[in-house]
Structure formats: C-alpha cells, structure tokens
Amino acid sequence: MQLVTPAIGLVFWMLVTFVIVLTILKKFAWKPILSSIKEREDTISNALNQAEQAKNEMARLHGENEQLLAQARSERDAMMKEAREMKEKIVGDAKTTAEEEAKKLIARANDEINKQKLAAMDELKKEIAHFSVQIAEKLVADKLENSEAQQKLIATYLSDLNNKAQA
C-alpha cells in the first residue's frame, strides 16, 4: 500500500517544489500573463466603445441625412410651386397682352374701315353729283338759255343731295 499513500518526505518535497515553482511562476510568468490579459481586456473594451461611438455617429449622420433630404425635398417642392406660379403669371400676362393687342388691332381696323367707308361715300357722292350735273346739263341745256339759271338749279340739286346724304 505504499504505492497508493505517499511518504511524508515525498509530500514535503513535493510541496516545497510546488511552492518554489509557484513563486517562480508568480514572479516571472503571472505578471506578464495578467498584464497581457489586462491589455487584451482594455483593447477589447476600447474597441467596443469605439464601435458604439461609431454606431451612434452613424445614427446621427443618418438622422442628419434624413433631415437634409427632407429639407431638399421641401425646397424642391417650393421651387416647383414657384415655377408653376411664375408660369401661370407669364401665361396670364401674355394672354392679357395678346387680348389687349387684339382689341387695339380690331379698333384700328374698324377706324380704318370707317375712314375708307366715309372716303368712298364722299367719292361716290362727288361722282354722283358730277354725273347728275352732266345729265342735268344735257337735259337742261336745250331748255335754258341763261347760264345763271342753270347754275342756280345745279346748286339747289347739290344741296338737296348733300341733305339726303347726311341724313
């Protein structure tokens, strides 16, 4: 049974050896291992913090982008509305101007027509008077010997024609 139970001397030297190895490990191995674990932990913690900051920054930028996009849309809508209003105003102004020009042209044309109508009527009256005088001269030439009487008769007929034409 000696194989299963160790002797006290063996246990003592095993404990002494274990304590020496433990002291050597603590002095030379544990500090570097613990410091590298601490550095690794700090690195991971910093990386997580930076990732969280980046995530927050991305969320903020996304919010700003949405705000800028909404602002751009509202400006675009305002510009489109302004352009439509300007177009309607220009079309309305052009329509009004065209109507005024058309009225002026119609008024000028009517004036010109009336002037030409009056001129034609005056010309027609003169020609009718001239023809009437020639006809009257031929008819009356045989009957009247006195040219004064003939002139008086012509003046009477002309005044009658002018009175009828003016009425």
Task: Give the Å distances, CA to CA, from 73 to 10, 22, 70, 129.
Answer: 87, 72, 5, 82
Q: What is the pLDDT of residues 94-153, one digit of tens each?
A: 999 999 999 999 999 999 999 998 888 888 888 887 877 777 776 666 565 566 766 777
The reported pTM is 0.39
Helix axes 31-141, 147-166, angle to 10 degrees: 150
Q: Which two tokens stand for residue 23?
A: 């002291």
pLDDT at residue number 164: 73
In the 8-state DSSP scheme, what is residue 132? H
For tokens 């932990």, what's the residue?
A: 41
Q: What is the pLDDT of residues 64-96, one digit of tens each?
A: 999 999 999 999 999 999 999 999 999 999 999
pLDDT at residue number 156: 83
Q: Are 125 and 160 in contact (CB under 8 A)?
A: no
Q: What is the pLDDT of residues 140-165, one digit of tens each?
A: 665 655 667 667 777 787 778 777 76
Average pLDDT over residues 49-76: 93
Q: Are 161 and 129 in contact (CB under 8 A)?
A: yes
Q: Which two tokens stand for residue 94?
A: 């052009």
Quote the CA–CA distance of 166 and 156 in Å, as a whole number.
16
